[in-house]
Amino acid sequence: MDKIDIKSLNATELSENLDYLSLPKFRVTQIYEWVRRGVGSFAEMTNVPATLREKLDDKFYFADVKIARKLVSKLDGTVKYLFELADGEFIESVFMSYHHGYTVCISTQVGCRMGCKFCASGINGKARDLTAGEMLAQIEAAARDNGVRVSNVVMMGMGEPLDNFRNSMKFLELVGDEKGLGIGMRHISLSTSGVVDGIYKLAEYNLPITLSISLHAPIDELRSSVMPVNKRWNLAELFKACKDYIKVTGRRISFEYALIDGFNDSDECIKKLAESVKGMLCHINLIPANPVVENDFRSPERKKVEDFQKKLESYGLTTTIRRTLGADINASCGQLRRSEANK
């Protein structure tokens, strides 16, 4: 029998899975609280009898991550982790000091099957989905390593969260548990490349998280040339889903727009972008593109990025230019795992 990832269970599910042992209720609560506190083994549950811990060991395992490599930015203290999973796969997470608190950027899959041309995460496709427990473990490990409480999470690391829908929803349920990380939905952002059926499903949950859409190009031909997902769901379908999402949840959407020199920085793009999101409750986040070894996408120079922003704002849009953190440690996701694979 395959062992069960105990970190991915909520209190009810754990209790159901322990039914066969007929434990007193306080014991089940005790075990649950240890799990949520982020222990990595039953041996650490010091107030649980050893005979019971042995039985639990036979049925459950802990989704854990081990620090395989760690890079610390000399510029801003951002920490980039290469984590090794139990099956020997690698993922990346980033720990940032940001917005008066600590933020962890987590991965949701090992690799990614969306195939965006500018992204290092998708180069070899997807190996597998992460469990909710493995998503939590990244935050627990980063918090432990830095000796702080993490207040914000962005699901913007490797992988497409809406392509791992069930586990991502489970993660959102568990990360808010006061017995554990206690990170509320309002402190969480989920980023998608535009998996439209997932956006509709997410709207049904009506969660107070921030939804980010990786837009990157406002013209179908351009977007399809770098993001294959656009061939499945084009911009009209994507914007329709976004409008539905805003209507159902009443929440502002954030559009991510990575500026790539000579590709999506034209006046035509500015006009199209402004027209497309006109009247929408949204925010545009401009990201100077991060160079990836395997491609030749580059950000325009700073002046051009600022001009792009000014022109967009002249259409009445609210925009920001994302602060680049950890520029010296290649902090955009997927790149560290690539360099490990290329060794």
- Pseudo-torsion of CA 239, 245, 248, 254, nearest 10°? -110
Beta pairing class for 253-259 and 66-72: unpaired
Residue 92 annotated as catalytic: yes
Q: 242 or 292: whose CB is closer to ligand SAH? A: 292
Interaction residues for ligand SF4, span 296-325 (CB under 6 A): none
Helix pair angle (235-249, 196-205), 10° resolution: 0
Stretch that binds ligand SAH, among 56-64, 189-197, 201-209, 270-278 (CB under 6 A): 189-197
Residue 161 binds to ligand SF4 (criterion: CB under 6 A): no
Interaction residues for ligand SAH, span 279-338 (CB under 6 A): 287, 289-290, 292, 332
Place of tokens 């993001």: 227
Residue 122 binds which entry of ligand SF4, ligand SAH, none, CB below 5-8 Å type-dependent: ligand SF4
Q: Can you tell me the distance from the alpha carbon of 67 to that of 84, in angstroms, rounded to the nearest whole number?
A: 6
- Write down the H helix ranges in the chain: 11-18, 25-36, 50-59, 132-146, 165-175, 196-205, 220-226, 229-232, 235-249, 267-277, 302-313, 335-342
Applying CB under 6 A, among 92, 134, 140, 160 the residue interacting with ligand SAH is: 160
Closest C-alpha to 93, from 129, 117, 65: 65
Q: 192 or 230: whose CB is closer to ligand SAH? A: 192
- The SS3 call for residue 106 is coil
Q: What angle do CA 212, 216, 222 make, to 5 degrees?
A: 145
Q: 180 or 334: whose CB is closer to ligand SAH? A: 334
Applying CB under 6 A, among 63, 82, 110, 116 the residue interacting with ligand SF4 is: 116
Cα 40 to chain centroid, rounded: 22
Residue 335 binds to ligand SF4 (criterion: CB under 6 A): no
Residue 156 binds which entry of ligand SAH, ligand SF4, none, CB below 5-8 Å type-dependent: ligand SAH
Catalytic annotation, pick one of 92, 134, 140, 160: 92
Contact set with ligand SAH (CB under 6 A): 118-119, 156, 160, 191-193, 214, 256, 258, 287, 289-290, 292, 332
Residues that bind ligand SF4 (CB under 6 A): 112, 114-116, 119, 121-122, 158-160, 193, 214
Positions annotated as catalytic residues are: 92, 333
